[in-house]
């Protein structure tokens, strides 16, 4: 997570840093399936983007048991899909958008264009349903959620262009 905050966050600012750091330190958020899915998607993006760090991650005491970056990212994606319940899409939020966007970016970094296209479509649909493109719909949101939605809009815009 530190590599994400240090190196990837400036390019993909999909979380609110102070809230994210606090959630990482609190044990209760680790039992939250949404937060676990977010962590897995961030890990997937870091491994996809920072190719040279994968070998370093494999040599850590709690090493990755995966033979390739692609295998690791597929594993993370399958874990996240397993966390979804039948009511997953009943209530949309920015975290669900973030997860799909991060996997879209991870597969794009791998060069796996079919996977990235499918995930970008899901991220785009969630972004539209959250009305990231309509700043007037931000009324009533707290300042953190407003900031995240603005960043989410621009990340999708850049991907679309």
Percent of the chain surpassing pLDDT 70: 94
| Cα dihedral across residues 116, 30, 4, 62: positive or negative | negative
pTM assigned to the model: 0.89
pLDDT at 72: 93
pLDDT at 102: 97
pLDDT beyond 70 at 63: no
Token pair listed for 41: 């998607």
Picking from 23, 32, 46, the residue whose alpha carbon sits closest to that of residue 102 is 46
Provide the 10 A C-beta neighbour count for residue 105. 25
Contact indicator for 105, 44 with CB cutoff of 8 Å:
no
Residue 138 DSSP label: G
Residue reference for tokens 């958008």: 97
pLDDT at 15: 94
Q: Collapse the DSSP code of 15 into the 3-class scheme (helix H, G, I; strand E, B; otherwise coil) and give the result.
A: coil
Provide the 10 A C-beta neighbour count for residue 85. 8
Using DSSP, how many helices (H) and how many strands (E) does the chain show?
8, 0
pLDDT beyond 70 at 94: yes
N- to C-terminal Cα distance for the chain?
Answer: 29
pLDDT beyond 80 at 56: no
pLDDT at 6: 93
Contact indicator for 24, 65 with CB cutoff of 8 Å:
no
pLDDT at 32: 82
Token pair listed for 149: 């939605």
Task: Give every CB contact of residue 149 below 8 A, 6+ residues apart in sequence.
Answer: 94, 130, 132, 138, 141
Distance of CA 59 to the CA centre of its chain: 25
């Amino acid at each position: 997570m530190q590599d994400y905050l240090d190196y990837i966050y400036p390019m993909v600012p999909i979380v609110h840093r102070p809230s994210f750091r606090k959630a990482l330190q609190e044990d209760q958020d680790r039992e939250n399936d949404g937060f676990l899915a977010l962590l897995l998607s961030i890990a997937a993006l870091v491994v996809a983007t920072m190719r040279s760090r994968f070998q370093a991650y494999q040599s850590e005491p709690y090493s990755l048991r995966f033979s390739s970056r692609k295998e690791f990212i597929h594993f993370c994606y399958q874990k996240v899909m397993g966390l979804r319940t039948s009511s997953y899409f009943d209530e949309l939020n920015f975290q669900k958008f973030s997860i799909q966007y991060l996997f879209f970016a991870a597969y794009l970094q791998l060069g796996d264009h079919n996977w990235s296209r499918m995930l970008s479509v899901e991220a785009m649909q969630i972004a539209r349903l959250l009305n990231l493109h309509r700043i007037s719909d931000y009324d009533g949101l707290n300042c953190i959620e407003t900031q995240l939605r603005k960043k989410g809009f621009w990340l999708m815009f850049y991907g679309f262009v």
